[in-house]
Structure 1
Amino acid sequence: MKTKFLAAVIATCFAAPVMAQSSVTIYGIADAGLMKQSGQTLRVVSGIADGSRLGFKGSEDIGGGFKAIFNLEARVELDSGSQKPTLLSDEQGLFLTRGMGAGFNSVLAPLGPLGGALSAGVLQSIRGGFQVKGSAAVNAEGALFDRTSMVGLITPFGAFLMGRMYTPGYEVFAASDVFESGTAGAWGGITGGTAGFTNLGVEIRSSKSIQYRIATPAGLGGSLMYGTKGSGYLNRYNKFYGAAATYKANGFDVGVAHNRGYDQSDRTSLVTSTIGGSYTMGEFKFFAGYHDQRNRNSVLLADYTAGYNAQIAPGIAAQLVPAGPLAPVLAAGMRTVFLNNIGANTQLDAASYQVGLHYRVGAGRVMASVAHQNDRSNSDSDANLFALGYDYNLSKRTDIYTVVAQINNKNEGQFIPGAAGSPGGFAKVPGSNARAVQVGIRHRF
């Protein structure tokens, strides 16, 4: 019984197959393909079904039912050779600056036509600062082992891990996703705020964290995570908590989880609750999931404020010199408009669900899903995702796939289908429908 328990715990600590005892393994995934989004040119994209990666993992049996383990996993962008994926769409996201244009115009009204020109120029500068074309959309810090970097100890009583790891909430979310958190059909393509990739709807990983994991031969499992200062996906939380309970047996792979982060001022930030999973019955595998998301205090507010103070405010002050004594008042009014709107536009209040299935046909499988994001904010920017795909195994380690997906946006929504390794970016027009077609190949080694 103890041997089975230990094996079950080890299996929960690594995404890839369990290693032999006292060993170090080099592993990875090479995934790339062609992608065409609405209004965009055909392009080669890395990490469509799975993020391309190179990893190192190892274990050492130290006796008495104890094992030391480690896992280091680096992001690899096959299309460029870098570790910093960019947005797939070239279109500008507009939601973060919602309300700023009208606010700036009101403040600068005393300047007449000069005020209107200055307002338009400032708004464009802010948008350009939020979304620098070609800049990293993920792993902006350029961390070498951005995907995973952890060390731990497997004991007869569970696993104790430390480092940067997947959060309990994300693991349940990913297990509920028909498209396994990849391709244009990924459920995560519509979760999060209308501001897009800058307003995450699930904490994927957390740095500077400790985790306890347990799994029993009967299929019951669970995890507890605590993140210290500098934790969270963006390394900005003051602290972070996560917990999950799972059941993986008799055809079921289901779970319930909760994540909660706290911003730099120790205010509650992104909070998510997730329930879902899958059930396998013959050639069918059915999926269902529900994901609740709330964020009143984005950890990025400090970055946005610092950027405004350093890059925007000096230019405003220089252009307001002709206003004489009125200049400081106008500059202060502009800053207030920015802070009030960016605070509101980075908030998140939404609930999402997805249902779908896999159907195995020979060496392949058909995948189909429907997902809905209910935006509970005053924007009411709901989104519906429809996806259909086919995956064919050429061998045990190599498969080819194709996926077609469409997102129907409402009001100010600009969601557009993306890929496992890169955010989709933004649709050209808020409230418009956005589509994507993908064909790719994935090799595991």
Structure 2
Amino acid sequence: MNTKLLVGVIAACFAAPALAQSSVVIYGIADAGLMYVDNGGKDSKVKLVSGIADGSRLGFKGTEDMGGGYKAIFNLEARVEIDTGNNKTGNLSSNQGFALTRGLERLPAPLLAGVRGALQPAVNVNTSGALFDRTSMVGLVTPVGAILAGRMYTPGYEVFNNADVFESGTGGGWGGIVGGTGGLLTAGMAIRSDKSLQYRIETPNGFGAALMYGAEKSGYVGLDKRSWGGNVRYKANGWNVGLGHNHGTDQVGNRGLVTTTLGGSYETGDAKLFAGYHKQKNENSVIIRLAGEQLAPVFASLGAAGPGIARMVNAALVRNFYLDAVSYQLGAHYKIGAGRVMASVVRQDDKTASNSDATQFALGYDHNLSKRTDIYTVLAYIKNTNQGQYAIGAASASGGFTEKAGDASRGIQMGIRHRF
């Protein structure tokens, strides 16, 4: 992260005359802990991880009340990796994933290694190093809703996150096994979208809705030709439920990652019950064209054999990046004194030919030391089948892979989270 630029942003928030009548808040989360995990192979069993329960962040948000029900708002939120001070990261596991190169085993070893390297980069979260990777938004609130512009959470993900027992964090997070067997490159949910416009409305009786449209270079990795989505929500009388849909395209407009999510929670007394359903399909992943561009120099260096090998690799990528699955989640919270017990079961039902289903079990306890600080521990276990190599992850990073297809991933995480 560029420290001088960050200091300048903070100074501007307090010094710029244009913001003199605005309410500006600096906020954040510092979260880190230890993780013991068995993924097989040479992968380290003990890891110091940033953002296990919540992605660590530093944010700025502001509001100017202009009267008559109109407000100008903005939100800038930067990713912070507590363990390194950086703002980008990769898989927690060092193991190689094999699903995306199935059918290419006959390639010469150096070429196969190069293809696998291109499909498993060391950095797969915030690859561009964007300063405000988590959120970058400005908008206008009106008496009939809000209009927002920038990089924001998608409508589908809003519903998905609200239904997640582990609040999109720890080894028990619903998203841990949602997606294809290629790990984060075959994600089953578009979390944020660049270059997007969003309309939101909230009613006094608890109903809400959102519509989002993403222009060129929007979507889950900023490569979609266009994307759109919407949701409807209800939050009142103990309920927090919704229905969300996201629709993405590839770089030339073909149907890409499309998801539908239904779920939420119901709170009664000390208990909070969760349930969720998530359908995901990606027929034309944007990563296929991106990988082809990155590998083009390698194929060119092969001379006359290059075009034939390029066609073979592309055919394998089209087949291996294809995603078709349905995910289910059930779980609960139960308050005990200053803490809460959390438990969930997640099932990823893979509809592709490989039938690589996975089941994730998690049990955790979160204890509040104060209003802003808590400590937590989570036990997690993933049962993989066939080509599945899902490994336990965290809020800030994907788990990566087990040593071999079909191997289980098991571990325990312990951490501390401070909100400021």
Q: Shorter-normalised TM-score: what interval?
A: over 0.9
Number of aligned positions between the proteins: 396
Match of 2:159 in 1: 172
* 1:421-432 equivalence runs, <5 A: 421-432=396-407
Task: Quote how far apart the aligned CAs of 1:127 are.
Answer: 1.1
Task: Quote how far apart the aligned CAs of 1:270 are.
Answer: 0.2
Moved over 2 A (4+): 128-132, 314-317, 330-333
Using the size of structure 1 for normalisation, the TM-score is: 0.88
* 1:316-395 equivalence runs, <5 A: 316-317=302-303, 328=304, 330-395=305-370
* 1:44-63 equivalence runs, <5 A: 44-63=48-67
Match of 1:83 in 2: 87
Task: Quote how far apart the aligned CAs of 1:331 are.
Answer: 2.9
1:151 aligns with 2:155: no
Cα distance in 1 for partners of 2:104, 2:91 equals 24
Aligned mate of 1:396, from 353, 357, 371: 371
Structure 2 unaligned regions, length at least 5 = 1-20
Cα distance in 2 for partners of 1:283, 1:313 equals 60
Task: Quote how far apart the aligned CAs of 1:425 are.
Answer: 0.7
Write the letter of the residue equivalent to 1:353: Y
Q: Is the 8 A contact 2:172 2:361 kept in 1?
A: yes
* 1:275-354 equivalence runs, <5 A: 275-310=262-297, 312-317=298-303, 328=304, 330-354=305-329
1:124 aligns with 2:99: no
1:186 aligns with 2:173: yes
Cα distance in 1 for partners of 2:82, 2:129 equals 16
Structure 1 unaligned regions, length at least 5 = 1-20, 105-118, 318-327
Cα distance in 2 for partners of 1:131, 1:224 equals 33
1:219 aligns with 2:194: no
Write the letter of the residue equivalent to 1:340: A
1:271 aligns with 2:275: no
Task: Quote how far apart the aligned CAs of 1:233 are.
Answer: 2.3
Cα distance in 1 for partners of 2:72, 2:380 equals 43
Q: Is the 8 A contact 2:299 2:307 kept in 1?
A: no
Cα distance in 1 for partners of 2:153, 2:394 equals 18
SS at match of 1:341: helix
Q: Is the 8 A contact 1:122 1:316 kept in 2?
A: no
Q: For residues 8-63 of structure 1, what are the alpha-carbon distances to aligned partners after superposition, in whole Å with 9 as ceiling and x for unaligned? A: xxxxxxxxxxxxx9300000000000012213331110000000000000000111
Cα distance in 1 for partners of 2:231, 2:117 equals 39
Match of 1:203 in 2: 190
Q: Is the 8 A contact 1:238 1:262 kept in 2?
A: yes
Q: For residues 397-443 of structure 1, what are the alpha-carbon distances to aligned partners after superposition, in whole Å with 9 as ceiling and x for unaligned? A: 00000001000000000001100001111111101111121000000
Cα distance in 2 for partners of 1:333, 1:229 equals 31
Write the letter of the residue equivalent to 1:240: S
Task: Quote how far apart the aligned CAs of 1:77 are.
Answer: 0.2
Q: For residues 102-152 of structure 1, what are the alpha-carbon distances to aligned partners after superposition, in whole Å with 9 as ceiling and x for unaligned? A: 4x4xxxxxxxxxxxxxx22211221123224xx212000000000000000
Q: Percent identity?
A: 57
SS at match of 2:188: coil
Write the letter of the residue equivalent to 1:419: A
Write the letter of the residue equivalent to 2:257: L
Aligned mate of 1:98, from 92, 96, 102: 102
RMSD: 1.1
Using the size of structure 2 for normalisation, the TM-score is: 0.93
Write the letter of the residue equivalent to 2:29: I
Aligned mate of 2:395, from 420, 432, 437: 420
Q: Is the 8 A contact 1:399 1:442 kept in 2?
A: yes
Task: Quote how far apart the aligned CAs of 1:336 are.
Answer: 1.5
Match of 2:5 in 1: none
Write the letter of the residue equivalent to 1:414: Q
Write the letter of the residue equivalent to 2:395: A
Match of 2:13 in 1: none
Task: Quote how far apart the aligned CAs of 1:315 are.
Answer: 4.2
Cα distance in 1 for partners of 2:47, 2:104 equals 34
SS at match of 2:218: strand
Q: Is the 8 A contact 1:37 1:89 kept in 2?
A: no
* Greater share of helix: 1
Q: For residues 225-254 of structure 1, what are the alpha-carbon distances to aligned partners after superposition, in whole Å with 9 as ceiling and x for unaligned? A: 000111112111111111000000000000
Cα distance in 2 for partners of 1:254, 1:417 equals 27
SS at match of 1:407: strand
Larger Rg: 1
